[in-house]
Structure 1
Amino acid sequence: MPAFGLAFFIIISLLSACAKPRGMQLEGVYGTALWHVTLTDEFPAGLDQVVLRAGITQALSKTTQQIAGWDKSSEISQFNAHQSTQWFAVSPDVARLSELALRLSAESAGIYDITVRPLITLWGFDSAQETAGYVPVAEEIAAARARVGYQKLQVQLEPPALRKTQVDLHVELASLADGFAADVVGEYLESLGLTNYMVEIAGEIRTRGVSPRGDAWRVAIEKPLDGQRAVQQGVRLRNAGLATSGDYRNFFIKDGKRYSHTLDPATGYPVTHQLASVSVVAQQGALADAYATLLMAMGEVKGKAFADQHALAAYFVWRTDAGFEVYATPAFTQLLMD
């Protein structure tokens, strides 16, 4: 269940408001997404744009080899193809991310589930295919649901390994992949002594230190409009990641009914609530990414209660007959721009 939002041109417009940025900006391609890096610091001796870009590309290539479900040679793809219930060795990062996902699955009583890929494919929301607008019959949904269930996945950190109790289980880490990739790039920059930066990958953000303005990084939450780009709300970030999940980029309408790509594992059907987007701020991009997906699946009522209960910094936008309504948790309110 991929996250959407935070158009980069909007981010840059806020970053440069009232002052000309003195930082440097780099960009490139990660899978089917774009990445952008904005630096405040001067380059250390011996480092230039060519070296930095190559290092970022190498760091992102490593994440592809670990968690990219679309890459058949990746660790997670090899695990999915592993027709056994024996332990399967993975890298520490894959084990750690899987453990995080299972923790959030337990916290959400299974609303967040990284084994939901059979349902996503059945409904035509697979990233490798265009939405066909197909509504499955009950028997097809039941068959797909039989292959879903986070309880069927086990993780150990030492030595790092995954184990499935059902051989046709399919694990998909896309719900936190872009946030994790932003973290990986950020950690690479910090290894070079660059401590003031913003990384953006497919709308997911990681910031550290100060912006080229000398203060907090200013980014924008996108208004959840179909086929349009506009600012919903500006926020100030420092030493934090931000992720947005929404239903306004990946959906289809059939017989007058809107079908979201966000699926409920308990029913096998797209969610029916009115939540259009939710944004989460956390210290790490991967955690913000996963929580944004979790809250989007819960909807505006259960999601708000969950976010408040767990003291999350979250911002909700949902549809009403009169337009949009919003809610910011107390932790998120502190970050809002006027």
Structure 2
Amino acid sequence: MKTFTDCEPLLRYSLSGPTMGSRFTAVFFAAAGLDTRPIQAELQAAVDRVDAQMSTWKPDSTLMQLNRTPLGQWFELPDELYQVLLAGLHVGSLSHGAFDIALGAQVSAWGFGPAPAGASATPRCTAATALTLDTERRAVRKEAEVSLDLNGIAKGFGVDELARCLERHGIQRYLVGIDGELRARGAKPDGAWRVALEKPEYGRREVFASLELADTAIATSGDYRHWRERDGQRYSHTLDPHSGAPLHNGIASVTVLAGSCLYADAWATALMVLGVERGARLAREQGLGVVFLLREGERICEVTVGL
């Protein structure tokens, strides 16, 4: 496979397409005359595959088929879904349950999922206790009724798939993303990739700060983009796995920098649940770069770890 070296004149290319209720973007630098049509097709196919396997909004997705599978019956997983399931369980274990992929029923009960708001949630059961994996067969078996939801990790994996697609084409300078989940490699000819860190304002977009990315991924979890109101109270879409209820701990957002967007995405949710003190301690243990934004009255306060 040919790679594009620093000795060649580089042009900026930008590709995009629909996915997961939003759009993916891929900005990269490569030699002039590059035929982007096969790259565009592969990028679209990559995110379509993730969506078809992991969406909770598509009744025929592989994940929803797994959710409907009877207890005790083995269900063989495609490679991508298997990787994400393993990563979700791994972060769940490392975070002591602050990240849990078995919150589907609770997500819908609070009005953030495909089922009607107020739908009754099944008795709480963690993914770690509900699932048995056969690593050789890449299969999973449910030991208890559980509704899996990968919305806190699948988008990050989709970004990693975009990155892998570009790298297969020898592209070494890129920034790919889906919404606020991004992954960068190399640098632009005129300097580092710079991305905006949003101020956590309800109903409007404003830049709080900017960060430089190089050979890293970034993901943000926050309370200001998706919420519901009940009896005049605003509730975040991020749930505490231990209570099954939306968070209300004063954290407006958590931004994580990690080696892959898959893990940045999952850890952003986990650290949001854990809070600043426990979250910062765990972030240091895991070697993560983190920005916590906290609400203190009308003020937004920043706490950074590893940056």
- TM-score higher than 0.5: yes
More strand by share: 2
The residue type equivalent to 1:146 in the other structure is R
How big is the shift at 1:149?
A: 4.3
Aligned partners of 2:30 and 2:56: how far apart in 1? 35
Structure 1 residue corresponding to 2:64, chosen from 77, 84, 90: 77
Aligned to 2:103: 116
Aligned runs of 1:166-181 on 2, under 5 Å? 166=144, 168-181=145-158
Deviations 1:70-117 (A, max 9, x none): 223322222111113132111222222211111111122212100001
The partner residue of 2:164 within 181, 187, 195 is 187
Q: Which runs of 5+ in 1 are unaligned?
A: 1-20, 334-338
Distance 2:122 2:152 in 1: 19
Provide the rounded CA distance (Å) in 1 between the counterparts of 2:69 and 2:261: 29
Aligned equivalent of 2:5: none
Q: Which residue identity lines up with residue 154 of structure 1 in the other structure?
A: T
1:220 and 2:209 aligned? no
Aligned to 1:60: 47
Partner of 2:13: 24
Distance in structure 2 (CA, Å) of the matches to 1:314 and 1:148:
26
Cα deviation 1:179-212 (Å, max 9, x = unaligned): 1111111111111111111101121101111124
How big is each residue's C-alpha offset from its partner over 1:201-241, in whole Å with a ceiling of 9 and x where there is no partner? 1211011111242x321111111100111111211111111
Match of 2:295 among 319, 325, 332: 319
How many correspondences in the alignment? 298
Matched, 1:150 2:128: yes
For 2:209, the aligned partner's letter is Q
> Does 2:83 match 1:105?
no
1:41 to 2:30 alignment: yes
In the alignment, the residues of structure 2 paired with residue 244 and residue 212 of structure 1 have an alpha-carbon distance, to the nearest angstrom, of 27
Superimposed CA distance per residue, residues 23-49 of structure 1 (whole angstroms, 9 cap, x where no aligned partner): 121221113111111011126x7x523
In the aligned structure 2, how far is the partner of 1:41 from the partner of 1:65? 30
* Superposition RMSD in Å: 2.1
Check the 8 A contact 1:85/1:163 in 2, yes or no.
yes
Tell me whether 1:292 sits opposite 2:265 in the alignment. no
Query: Are 2:148 and 1:159 aligned?
Result: no
SS in 1 for 2:167: helix
Cα contact 1:145–1:268 (8 A) shared by 2: no
Matching residue's letter, 1:111: A
* SS of residue matched to 1:155: strand
State the TM-score, normalized to the length of structure 2: 0.90
Structure 2 residue 258 is matched with structure 1 residue 282: yes
Shift of 1:147: 4.8
Corresponding letter in the other structure for 1:219: V
2:184 aligns to what?
207
Separation (CA, whole Å) in 2 of partners of 1:311 and 1:188: 27
Residues 112 and 294, structure 1, Cα contact 8 Å, conserved in 2: yes
Please give the alpha-carbon distance, in whole angstroms, between the structure 2 residues aligned to 1:145 and 1:319. 32
User: Secondary structure of the equivalent of 2:238?
Assistant: coil
Residue 38 of structure 2 is aligned to residue 51 of structure 1: yes
Q: Distance in 1 between matches of 2:84 and 2:295?
A: 32
C-alpha contact (below 8 Å) 1:273/1:300 kept by paired residues:
no
